Amino acid sequence: MENGVWVFIENDAGTIADVSMELLWKGRELADQLRCELGCFIIGHGVSEAASDLIAYGADMVCVADHSQLAHYLTLPYTRIAVELINEYRPSIVLIGATNTGRDLAPRIASHMRTGLTADCTDLQIGEYKFGKRIWKELLLQIRPAFGGNVIATIVTPETRPQMATVREGVFRQPAADSARKGTVVELNPTLTEQDLIFKIVERVKAAKKVNLKSARIIVAGGMGVGSKDNFEIVRELAGVLGGEVGATRAAVDAGFVDHERQIGQTGVTVRPNLYVACGISGAIQHRAGMQESSRIIAINTDANAPIFSIAHYGITGDLNEVIPRMIKAYKEKD
């Protein structure tokens, strides 16, 4: 599978992470552009049954490392197995979710392979790169905000392989299953050494998510323009009337207006609801990266030149303290 595209399939007790499915969708697109195969590898316990599903969702080959002591992520054996697979199959591109696990695993793989790694990408494309008289074709263009979100950087890895990137959950779409797809399943028989198991999991504590912005069909989000934590109630009221969730920018979260779990953007959650109402949000690059693919965007801002208006389908220039109550009243009168 020389020069193929590979995706690391993260799972928890056999349940595949959403970001891994999203990367299968993007990986399939990239592999088709490069005219190569899409491979993936999954490590864990009781994960063999997932192979057929991964093929149905776009993979051409699935490598499965199933072992009772790999049920939960362990840095050393996961890294060793991944590096051995990459050395054997030599994929050109390796994509990993920017989760807690991915942020631990990806740089270790990159270090072993002596290659580059771009973290928290918001887009991946295939293109060429010119430097002096040299031209590299069909490189992975790893796109992400940089310098505090003031610019969008395109990063390439022209000289070393694999080209590696981590991507945050919600950036890409979920693939559609095709049960007629055929593929190859490679069952591995991992052997773990004493050195692999020098770290042990003593206890796992999982906190349930109170907010699920990623699945919300309607989101009303507030920025620093809302003014205060108390004034953020007007955003909550509009969200309640519309039957949506409340979101916020990083600046609003840092100011203490709302909890971090409601943060949308490059350093928060990436969302794509049917309706996104941006209240008092200027539209910095890092925030737009997390919501710009919403089906409909309504922006409310006193500054007619605010960057948010460049991506909004409908823009309202005005004071949100006057505009939102009128929106709420109009919506209630409609009913």
pLDDT tens digits for 29-55? 999 999 999 999 999 999 999 999 999
Amino acid occupying residue 117: L
The pLDDT of residue 148: 66
> Is 70 exceeded by the pLDDT of residue 335?
no
**Per-residue pLDDT reduced to its tens digit, 104-156:** 999 999 999 999 999 999 899 999 999 999 999 999 999 988 876 667 899 99
What span, in angstroms and rounded, lies between the C-alpha atoms of 97 and 7? Answer: 9
Q: What is the mean pLDDT of residues 55-81?
A: 96
The pLDDT of residue 319: 96
Q: Is 151 exposed, middle or buried (0-12, 13-18, 19+ CB in 10 A)?
A: exposed
> Is 90 exceeded by the pLDDT of residue 286?
no
**Per-residue pLDDT reduced to its tens digit, 303-313:** 999 999 999 99
> Is 60 exceeded by the pLDDT of residue 239?
yes
Choice among 79-88, 157-166, 195-204 with the minimum mean pLDDT? 195-204
Q: Is 269 exposed, middle or buried (0-12, 13-18, 19+ CB in 10 A)?
A: buried
Work out the pLDDT band at 2, boundaries 50, 70, 90. Answer: low
Q: Is the pTM of this model over 0.75?
A: yes
